Structure 1
Amino acid sequence: MKLSERKINYHYTSECDMNCKFCFRFYNKSNLKQILTTFHELCKKVKSINLVGGEVFLDIDLLLSLIHIARDHNVKLSLVTNGYILSKSLDDERVLRVLKHLSVIGISIDSFNPEYNRMVGRTVNHDVLSIEELKQIINVARKNDCLIKINTVVTKYNASENLMKTISTFNIDQWKQFKVVLYDQEQEEFHASDVAFNSFTKLNQTSYVTTERENELKHTYLNVIPNGDFIMNTGDQTPMSNIYKEVSLIEQELSTSKYDDEGYKSRYKKKSMDDVYIKA
């Protein structure tokens, strides 16, 4: 599979307003010039990029700069956010410009139980994103022609929660349910058994749901960090390649790495929003 045909996750920031205990993010030190230069190089070689952190709305001006670069290269752009800053900034003209140029916005929602969200660290100063605030985000994103995706990480503590009752009242396009992946011993308490995960997916089943387990999460996502390295979600930051290399060499190095190209294709065959249009 050609590099240009793959969707790349650009992890350009590890800064976040929340402190989720099972979070997976790349802790990398980078400066503005490096972030923008690497993104420019990435846009020359791929057609679809997902912006992730950290929390991307912590620096809205930087986010706008990335969007302008993507537009210049006709690159399809999506992002993932926890929604908290976004919910407080829906009247910010810069935020509306961001939404206007996105194809997909992914919102991380693991629970509608405030106690659970506080326990796992999905809060800002003990404040949580409310259902009403989430609805407002969805409504504004819809008005700007964004497709809506919700991402849910399933742990043993939320595996029995019926989120479907509430999510079914939203106008969304996709709901991704992930079995939590653990990267260190401190996260072990959140481990969800296969039985627990299966129970959650059965309880929260609908036509626009896709589910992903540990192997898919670890080996079928391609991540690029600001120094240009390609990294997998395995917790091991040993680079598979680097975006500044020639495309043919990148493709060769990825093909001999632990990256699962067939798994990537299979994941997108399930149900993908990757064929959405590029906004003018």
Structure 2
Amino acid sequence: MSIQELVINFHMTETCNFRCEYCYATWDGNNSQQELHHSYSNIKELVTKTANYFLNDNPIKQKLGYKSVRLNFAGGEPVMLGSRFIKAVLLAKSLGLNTSLITNGHLLTNTMLSKVSPHLDMLGISFDTADHLLADSIGRVDRKKDWLSPQRLEEIVFHYRQSNPCGIVKINTVVNKYNWEETLTATITKIMPDKWKILRVLPVYSDSLCVTQQQYKHYITKHQSLSNIIVAEDNDDMWQSYLMLNPEGKFYQNSGPCEGIKQSPSILDVSITDALTHIEFNPDTFAKRYKSNIDFQEI
């Protein structure tokens, strides 16, 4: 087995300007004041330990044979951290890591894009719907009911590509009970991302927005004209297939449907080798998520 790149997701903060009902980026007992971004020295220690371990020989590298490592900044909404987020990205790049961002896009002003885009190997934007009412139902709006419109999404992608012509654009869409009948073909075709990941809502804490497998497949099938960029990720594809660090530097994994999560001690307190023994990570499942696209004949 061999993959090009290992991805480690650092959920830098639980704070977010949106309130998506299906969000799984919450951690029992997390205290926002204990999030590592409050101290640059803590962020420096976390990113440095991550780079030193995963860029060098280790059991996961022996298993997967990856050539590079990408630190993916996620949340919550990491852009809310402003200069703290930018400094962390620059640090990761200086240590030899590739970098990426998963964002709801709402706070990606042109000023922020100009500062961070040249240093992001990939920009991932969460976009579930082109309809404001549906976005409100899902929770993809802020307190003023502002949202990421299709027009603003196009502007962000254009600006990123202007600033970083070699950068990769990815759109993440979570199929849920509110949007599974919607068609996003027009919006996705306009921006034409390098990858469109279509995920089935994951019931980590609640199943209130879940869809059936038939509804999920229906959504994918209606977008088959974009099959060359679609990567489908059903619930079984997600379990034990992500390396994730929470805002306190703890590795975590989802336990099971509506069963919450398991966490390791912080990697600031123990070695990464020790921390990884507290979670279940399956390299084989991780590798399967990186196949290029979906075979519609299997649906």
| Same fold? TM cut 0.5 | yes
Written as runs of structure 1 = structure 2, the 5 A alignment for 1:115-154 is: 115-124=133-142, 125-145=144-164, 146-154=167-175
Question: In structure 2, what residue type is equivalent to 1:100?
Answer: P
5+ residue gaps, structure 1, are 272-280
Matched, 1:40 2:62: no
Letter in 2 for 1:40: T
Shift of 1:214: 1.0
Task: Return the offset for 1:9.
Answer: 0.2
- The percentage of aligned residue pairs carrying the same residue is 25
Measured against aligned partners, the alpha-carbon deviations of 1:41-67 in whole angstroms (never above 9, x if no partner) come to 223223211000011111220111101
Shift of 1:132: 1.2
Deviates more, 1:32-41 or 1:117-126: 32-41
1:196 to 215, 226, 246: 215
Q: Which residue of 2 aligns with 1:10?
A: 10
Contact 1:12 1:35 in 2 (8 A): no
Say if 1:193 and 1:95 are closer, same or farther in 2 by CA, change over 3 A. same
Larger deviation: 240-249 or 164-173?
Answer: 240-249
What one-letter code is carried by the residue in structure 1 that aligns with 2:244?
A: N
Look up the match of 1:278: none
Per the alignment, in what secondary structure is the counterpart of residue 291 of structure 2? helix
- 2: CA distance between counterparts of 1:264 and 1:104? 18
Q: How does 1:157-196 map to 2 (within 5 A)?
A: 157-184=178-205, 187-196=206-215
Distance 2:94 2:218 in 1: 45
Q: Which residue of 1 aligns with 2:61?
A: none
Distance 2:102 2:71 in 1: 11
Structure 1's 268 and 249: CA in aligned 2 closer, same or farther, altered over 3 A? same
Alpha-carbon distance between aligned partners in 2 of 1:5 and 1:138, rounded to the nearest angstrom: 23
Q: Tell me the secondary structure at the aligned position of residue 169 of structure 1.
A: helix
Deviations 1:230-260 (A, max 9, x none): 1113464423575454455566x27xx5322
From 116, 133, 136, give the equivalent of 1:98: 116
**For residues 153-209 of structure 1, what are the alpha-carbon distances to aligned partners after superposition, in whole Å with 9 as ceiling and x for unaligned?**
00122111111122111131000000001133xx43311000000000001122100
Question: How big is the shift at 1:148?
Answer: 0.6
Q: CA 1:191–1:248 in structure 2 vs 1: closer, same or farther (change >3 Å)?
A: closer
Q: Distance in 1 between matches of 2:285 and 2:140?
A: 30
Count residues with an aligned counterpart: 261
Taking the aligned partners of 2:75 and 2:218, their CA distance within structure 1 comes to 29
Segments ≥4 residues shifted beyond 6 Å: none
Q: Aligned ranges for residues 199-210 of structure 1 at < 5 Å?
A: 199-205=218-224, 206=226, 207-210=228-231
Task: Please give the per-residue CA displacement for 1:121-158, whole angstroms capped at 9, x wherever unaligned.
Answer: 10021112111111100000111222110000001221
Which secondary structure state, in structure 2, belongs to the residue aligned with residue 178 of structure 1? strand
Distance 1:150 1:58, change over 3 A: same
Question: Structure 1's 172 and 270: CA in aligned 2 closer, same or farther, altered over 3 A?
Answer: closer
SS in 1 for 2:290: helix
Question: How far apart, CA to CA, are the structure 1 residues paired with 2:246 and 2:129?
Answer: 29
Kindly indicate whether the alpha-carbon contact (under 8 Å) linking 1:11 and 1:52 is maintained by their aligned counterparts in 2: yes
Structure 2 segments unaligned to the other structure (5+ residues): 55-68, 294-299
Q: Deviations over 1:14-62 (max 9, x none)?
A: 0101111111103333242234432232232232110000111112201
Following TM superposition, by how much is the alpha carbon of 1:270 offset from its aligned partner in structure 2, in angstroms? 3.6
**In 2, Cα distance between the equivalents of 1:26 and 1:263?**
23
Residue correspondence of structure 1 range 257-272 to structure 2 within 5 A: 257-270=279-292
Structure 1 residue 101, shift from structure 2 partner: 0.4
CA distance in 2, matches of 1:95, 1:152: 21
Q: Is the 8 Å Cα contact of residues 204 and 260 (structure 2) preserved in structure 1? A: no
